[in-house]
Structure 1
Amino acid sequence: MSGKFLPTARFLLIVSLLSSALAVTPSAGAQAEPALQTHDVPVAGGPSGEAAQRLADRLGRSHTAGIYLDRTEHRFVITATDERTAEAVENAGAIPRRVTYDTAYLDSIKKRLDTNFKTPGTMWGIDVLANRVVVRADSTVGKKDFAALKKFLAPYGSAARVIRVGGKTERTSSAINGGDYIENGVVSCSYGFTVRKKTDPTYKAILTAGHCTITSGTDWRKSDGTYIGYTTGHNFSNGNDFGLIRAYNSSVTYYGNVEAEGGTAQDISYSRDSRLYETVCASGYKSKYACNSVGLKNQTINYTDGSQVTGMDVAFICRDHGDSGGPLFAGDAALGLLSGSNNSACYSYYQPVNEALAWYGMEVF
């Protein structure tokens, strides 16, 4: 995953650790440091994540190539393709990092991949730290398909690369796993976030994965068999993976929280987009609670069953069958819903939650 550019020593260490994760599966229960709160407040004297992103947007896609969190400095890094942009970043209190390729160019490569390939077992998108588009091909991708991707990207030189990863890229729903789950008689998945309509707070629902709610079963129950509601929406097309279950049992209390460490409850009060390299946590009925970092954003995932999702966040958290729809969060912030994973490589793929909330006119609470 390392590129030709020279990040800080801390990030060289991160890259080394991530490369090792491709060969050795980390423990799903491994705990990381508590998530940084990066909304609305400055980080170690620098701009907040939102402010850093706004600055990068103002500087323009042809002058920057993404932002990420330097967890040693607790400040945001904004990449810059020229000295003038780097000076603007430094003057704003963020850390500038010079890179060769800008977002507009790298995104054009990703879009060409999206248009020309749907190779099962692959994932691709911009790797901000490496400053290139990286295609990750799992163990199911044959030599012919791997060579085709490599040939396609060859004209882009160091701006694009194809690498091998272990394991299989799979959706994580399951019809057989038991435990603390939600099921509709066809699949068992994980409860994501409790949400409510912005225009009618008394209307409550449950967000989960769209490939769970698109199945033929419409009535959902929790682990003890109690009815919790019925499918009222699903979006598993055009690269999305989110669905909605109407909370429809007055005898059930639909709390606005998620399961955290040791079975404790973490209250969720708002939603936001994840930040690259921040610490995040996940819950699911099969793999339970675990934390690690967001390693990639806006990735295209091609599952081994032939389905494709786009715009996914990738967290380095091991997930398994049955965890689909489970929440990704940081403190009291809702971030995403689990779509699938490559459990051997400890990649888990998350649908950003704000897109789902906007689609249904909902909010977390």
Structure 2
Amino acid sequence: MSHRHVNKRTGVVIGAAAAAVMGAAILLPNANASTDRPPAPRTFSASAATQLATALKSDLGGDNAAWYLDGANGHLVMNVLSKDAAERVQAKGAVARVVHNSMTALKAGTKTLRETAAVPGTAWSIDPRTNKIVVVADKTVTGAKMATLAKATRGMGAGMVTVKRSQGEFRRFDGGGMSEDPGTPPAGGDGQNGGQGANGGQGANGGQGANGGQGANGGQGANGGQGANGGQGGGQGDGGQANGGQGGGGSAAGPIGGSAIFGGNARCSLGFNVTVKGAPAFLTAGHCGNDSPTWSADQGGSQPLGSVQDSQFPKTDFAIVTYDDKSAQPQSAVDLGNGSTQQITKAAEAAVGMKVQRSGSTTGVHDGTVTGLDATVNYGNGDIVNGLIQTDVCAEPGDSGGSMFAGDSAVGLTSGGSGDCTQGGETFFQPVTDALKATGAEIGAGGGDGSGGAAAGGDQSAGGDQSGGSDQSAGGDQSAGGDQSASGDQSAGGDQSAGADQGAGSDQSAGGDALN
């Protein structure tokens, strides 16, 4: 039995075979279109991802809803609001996610929180991984304060905001310098094999420097062979050079990122050496700048560094200190806590998912990940800071102002947070790029290539005798190359500041939700 079909438009009867051919002709274009697939996602470095994301944000306009780095595979993930925008993102080799909340809506939500939930002990940031605002309430947020926060977030809806709790307490990470117990660095926390120098300096391989002469004040010989008073013993064998100079990865001759700085009764950390109109200076936290108008490399003030020229806190959190010695050539580097340094050549914007390290005078070097941007933290007493970078890197009092960096890029200045380096926690950082724009400063200071020598204050080893050969004892304090007794070893100031009992730790680091 034959099968026939009637064309309803023309009334023409056609056979089954012809109908099949016509049907195939109609379906063929759609079948061809279904074979077009977006290119496979590319793998990006943090800097390359930032460049592409910046270009895509400009191209997408209102369809952009933030982006992040997928650290597991190096993919750049762009949140978008439409299928058309997703196709444009995929064509550039990035991963596209169509989400509900626009950046306009998310920023409006943070504005609502600032206006209706200014509760001490709270922090919030935009988390592109969840496409929400993540609010963290510390252990002090109870009773009426929690009720105020809950009312504000309920009004925004569950699709816009997530509330988490921290077991610790948000505080600034500046530390007292005069009366604190030096304590013991957390096991493995500073990568220095336990050696700690006087006045907060820490000696590589367990060696101890007299009068603050290790990494906190910079002057350090390889394997613990330091010159006194922060000077640097000549003839190092592990990357350092005599006369304070340094090759890549060597030790530093003056204060660098992560070094201890002292002002009045406060101890903080140096962030990054910079230049301002050609003059040497350094960045640290604004709340540190507010603590004292002058800063030194030692607790007693015998090694003055410089004076605060601008200090901004609260709202933002940065200060710039100009060196007293205008001919000083401090290195543009960060102390890695093991006798070596990381050269810093530029500044970079933070990105959620970026892997970072932090160097500070209390806890040394720790690493982690950026978890949120445009963060607000309320430390209490009216100290509310906006526009911060949120991370899961730990820190403790005395680390304030210290360097957050990614490779050779300066990223942030330590502000404060919750927890400690025993149990972990979340820490907030002032973006370096904002501080540089506000102060007109530039990364690097004088001998940023390591060709300089003395730090401001003249802390070359005793008598300036950087004999290129060997193990000078620099006044008899140390026999270079070994684990010196360094008379009077751990004087106050190398302290582990109070606050180590905050158990924020691994609990809720804002923005740490799993990918949607």
Comparing 221-230 and 299-308, the one that deviates more: 221-230
Residues 233-258 of structure 1: per-residue CA shift (max 9 Å, x gap): 10114x11000111123686411101
| Number of the residue aligned with 1:316 | 392
- Does the 8 Å contact 1:182/1:190 carry over to 2? yes
Amino acid at match of 1:173: D
Structure 1 contact 56–67 (Cα < 8 Å) conserved = no
Offset, 1:363: 0.7
Q: Residue 289 of structure 2 aligns with which residue?
A: 213
* SS at structure 2 position matched to 1:249: coil
1:363 partnered with 2:363: no
Deviation digits for residues 62-101 of structure 1, max 9, x if unmatched? 4222110112221210011221111111011111112111
Q: Secondary structure of 2:120's partner?
A: coil
- 1:198-244 per-position Cα deviation (integer Å, ceiling 9, x unaligned): xx32x0101000111112x322111374111111110114x110001
Query: In the alignment, residue 133 of structure 1 is paired with which amino acid?
Result: I
Distance in 2 (alpha carbons) for counterparts of 1:182 and 1:241: 17
Residue 38 of structure 1 aligns with which residue?
46
Match of 1:246 among 307, 322, 326: 322
CA distances 1:326-365 after superposition (whole Å, capped 9, x unpaired): 0110011000101111125511100000111111111102
**Counterparts of 1:286 and 1:264, CA distance in 2:** 17
Q: Distance in 2 between the 1:309 and 1:349 partners?
A: 10
- TM-score under structure 1 length normalisation: 0.83
Structure-2 residue corresponding to 1:52? 53
Q: What TM-score do the two structures reach when normalised by structure 2?
A: 0.59
Q: 1:118 deviation in Å?
A: 2.0
In structure 2, the residue corresponding to 1:57 is in which secondary structure? helix
Query: What is the CA deviation profile of residues 51-71 of structure 1, one whole-angstrom value per residue up to 9, with x for unaligned ones?
Result: 2122023312x4222110112
Structure 1 residue runs of 4+, over 3 Å off? 250-253
**Is it true that 1:163 corresponds to 2:164 in the alignment?**
yes
Q: Percent identity?
A: 31
**Which of the numbers 228, 235, 243 marks the counterpart of 2:312?**
235
**Match of 1:192?**
271
- What pairs with 1:279-294 in structure 2 (closer than 5 Å)? 279-294=355-370
Root mean square deviation, CA, Å: 1.8
The structure where strand makes up a greater share of residues is 1
Q: Any residues of structure 2 matched to 1:13-24 within 5 Å, and which?
A: none
| Equivalent runs, 1:300-315 vs 2, <5 Å | 300-315=376-391
Unaligned runs of 5+ in 2: 1-43, 181-198, 201-215, 217-259, 445-516
8 Å CA contact 2:345–2:409 kept in 1: the answer is yes
How do 1:88-167 and structure 2 match up within 5 A? 88-157=88-157, 158-167=159-168
Q: Give the aligned residue type for 1:244.
A: I
The answer to whether the 8 A contact 1:138-1:168 is kept is yes
Deviations 1:149-195 (A, max 9, x none): 11122232221132212100000101135513101123110011000
Gaps of 5+ in 1: 1-35, 42-47
Counterpart of 1:353 in structure 2: which amino acid?
V
Q: 1:249-264 counterparts in 2 under 5 A? A: 249=325, 253-260=329-336, 262-264=338-340
Aligned amino acid, residue 359 of structure 1 = A
Compared with structure 1, are the counterparts of its residues 57 and 263 closer, same or farther at alpha carbon in structure 2 (3 Å cutoff)?
A: farther
Matched, 1:182 2:190: no
Letter in 1 for 2:174: S
**Distance across 2 between alignment mates of 1:159 and 1:134:** 9
2-side partners of 1:304 and 1:317: how far apart? 22
Q: How many pairs does the alignment contain?
A: 317
Q: Greater Rg, structure 1 or structure 2?
A: 2
| Offset of residue 37 of structure 1 | 4.5
| CA spacing shift, 1:96–1:37, aligned 2, 3 Å | closer
Q: CA separation in 2, counterparts of 1:185 and 1:147?
A: 40
Residues 280-334 of structure 1 deviation map (CA, whole Å, 9 limit, x = unaligned): 0000000100111111111100014441000100111110000000011001100
Q: Distance in 2 between matches of 1:171 and 1:317?
A: 15
Residue identity in the other structure for 2:138? D
Instruction: Output the amino acid matched with 1:326.
Output: G
Aligned residues of 1:37 and 1:331 also touching (Cα < 8 A) = no
